[in-house]
Amino acid sequence: EGAKLNNVSDYAEYWKINFESSTFETDIEELWKQIEPLYKELHAYVRMKLNQKYGDEVVRQDGPIPAHLLGNMWAQTWSNIYDLLVPYPEKKTVDVTEKMLEQNYTANQMFKLAESFFTSINLSAMPESFWEKSIIVKPEGVELVCHASAWDFYDSKDFRIKMCTRITMEDLFTVHHEMGHVQYFIQYKDQPHVYKEGANSGFHEAIGDVISLSVQTTKHLKEIGLLESDKEDKEQVINFLLFTALDKLAFLPFGFLVDQYRWKIFKGDIISENYNCEWWKLREKYQGLEPPVDRSEEDFDAGAKYHVIADVPYIRYFVSFIIQFQFHRALCEKANQFNSNDPTLQPLHQCDIYKSHEAGNLLGKVLQMGSSKPWPDAMEVFTGQRKMDASALVQFFTPLYDWLKEQNQKNGVFVGWKPTTKRCE
């Protein structure tokens, strides 16, 4: 009924209103098709490595991967098993955590460092009240949800971050990500209340991640004194890109299917008698995964995901993981660090927009719009394109894509997956 009051036919359509597109489902289907060949090569490589460790009994050479082997409760990111998959184990993977501890980094320093990134690209410093009111270290003896989050108090001056910061490289990136949200709040603070949000729900998440894509480069880590040398050989590049792909690329089919599943339920295409088996059908179709053991309708595995039981739409994360690379490419072109006509000259994964006023001015222009214009207008200002496009993501991972194809061919690995032998009834 609520959907009909909003002039849409069902709850699935109501959820898609934010994306202001009558072809949204086919648009994201096309995005998935752009990435699928790359994902399948990654999947095949990971399955080969897991097969070498656990044997044919556990991981078939041509089947879906059992979901419990990927190091994450939902198998949505696989970076926790990087040590089993690392292409060149003898090459050191960049982790500046030790350096940060050696230099006696504090949470406050990490936040100041993130702020200096934004001011270096001609965006705003954090207001005084931000430093007074944010919680950046877990307070003693207080019950606190430690999940990092950014807050806009909608009075055009009070913005805060709540985070139990640890002195690690991972948290250094998270600090930049959360401050990306705050920068968005600051830039659109003069918009009318109703427009104080991202151009669509994927934009806000993407902005934080775009900044992290620059910060994680060896060039940037050297610039801020956390790395001695930014010289990388081909093997280190492959290690770095694989590590990034286990996070950013492995997530995409999951980010895609969680709402496919719920839209089908809202439309009546999946009925309550099939809730669990249909969930696993989608996970097999898109992720190439199977359950660890046979399942039945006594189980409700989708309910293990917070967003499913809390009724929080999820497709925004899929959108954000795609468009952050589109944004990154546009900013890198503005900073003269990437040329689409000659993408190998300065590879996209090495671009760092630090200190580029040109890139920052473009970013600021888009952030200031908030949601005052339809998102394709904001996208056009940013990238010159009115549609979401996954080609930048593929460009970012091109050296890895070529390497995976070569490895999989060399090892005679089956790419794709045959149906699962696990039952669900």
On the question of pLDDT at 357 being above 80, the answer is yes
267 in a domain, yes or no? yes
188 in a domain, yes or no? no
The chain-wide mean pLDDT, for the chain, equals 95
Backbone angles phi, psi at 105, to 5 degrees: -60, 145
Two tokens, residue 4: 């009909």
Tens digit of pLDDT for each residue in 39-93?
999 999 999 999 999 999 999 999 999 999 999 999 999 999 999 999 999 998 8
328 is catalytic: no
DSSP 283: I
Which pLDDT score, from 0 to 100, does residue 237 have? 94
Distance CA 180, CA 360 (A): 12
Rg (CA), the chain: 22
User: In terms of Cα–Cα distance, which of 238, 209, 237, 245 is closest to 40?
Assistant: 245
Handedness of CA 151, 262, 282, 406 (dihedral sign): negative
Find out whether 349 is annotated in a ligand binding site: no
140 in a domain, yes or no? no
Q: Does this model's pTM top 0.85?
A: yes
361 in a domain, yes or no? yes
Higher pLDDT, 8 or 27: 27
Write out the DSSP string of 174-218.
HHHHHHHHHHHHHHTTTS-GGG-S-SSHHHHHHHHHHHHHHHTSH
On the question of pLDDT at 38 being above 80, the answer is yes
Geometric angle at alpha carbon 179, from 195 and 114, rounded to 5°: 145
Q: Which of 13, 41, 115, 178 is catalytic?
A: 178
Tens digit of pLDDT for each residue in 110-159?
999 999 999 999 999 999 999 999 999 999 999 988 889 999 999 999 99
The band of 12, judged by pLDDT with boundaries at 50, 70 and 90, is confident
User: In terms of Cα–Cα distance, which of 328, 199, 311, 314 is closest to 251?
Assistant: 314
Tens digit of pLDDT for each residue in 264-294?
999 999 999 999 999 999 999 999 999 999 9
Two tokens, residue 287: 């992720």
Task: Kindly state the average pLDDT of the residues 334-354.
Answer: 94
Distance CA 157, CA 356 (A): 26
Task: Kindly state the average pLDDT of the residues 187-205.
Answer: 95
Q: Which of 25, 68, 307, 380 is catalytic?
A: 307
State the total domains in the chain.
1
Find out whether 160 is annotated in a ligand binding site: no
On the question of pLDDT at 402 being above 80, the answer is yes
358 in a domain, yes or no? yes
Which pLDDT score, from 0 to 100, does residue 95 have? 87
193 is catalytic: no
The band of 10, judged by pLDDT with boundaries at 50, 70 and 90, is confident
Which pLDDT score, from 0 to 100, does residue 7 have? 72
Distance CA 81, CA 345 (A): 32
Which pLDDT score, from 0 to 100, does residue 92 have? 82
Task: Kindly state the average pLDDT of the residues 361-366.
Answer: 98
On the question of pLDDT at 328 being above 80, the answer is yes
303 in a domain, yes or no? yes
On the question of pLDDT at 5 being above 80, the answer is no
Which pLDDT score, from 0 to 100, does residue 307 have? 92
329 in a domain, yes or no? yes
Two tokens, residue 201: 């729900």
Reduce the DSSP state of residue 339 to 3 states and report it.
Answer: coil
Domain that holds residue 283: 23-94+196-425
Find out whether 386 is annotated in a ligand binding site: no
Judged by average pLDDT, the poorest of 11-15, 27-31, 101-105, 119-123 is 11-15
The band of 362, judged by pLDDT with boundaries at 50, 70 and 90, is very high
Burial class (CB in 10 A: 0-12, 13-18, 19+), 362: buried
Find out whether 181 is annotated in a ligand binding site: yes
- Counting residues of the chain whose pLDDT is more than 70, the rounded percentage is 100
104 in a domain, yes or no? no
On the question of pLDDT at 3 being above 80, the answer is no
On the question of pLDDT at 6 being above 80, the answer is no
CATH number of the domain encompassing residue 238: 1.10.1370
Whether the Cβ atoms of residue 316 and residue 205 lie closer than 8 Å to each other: yes
On the question of pLDDT at 207 being above 90, the answer is yes
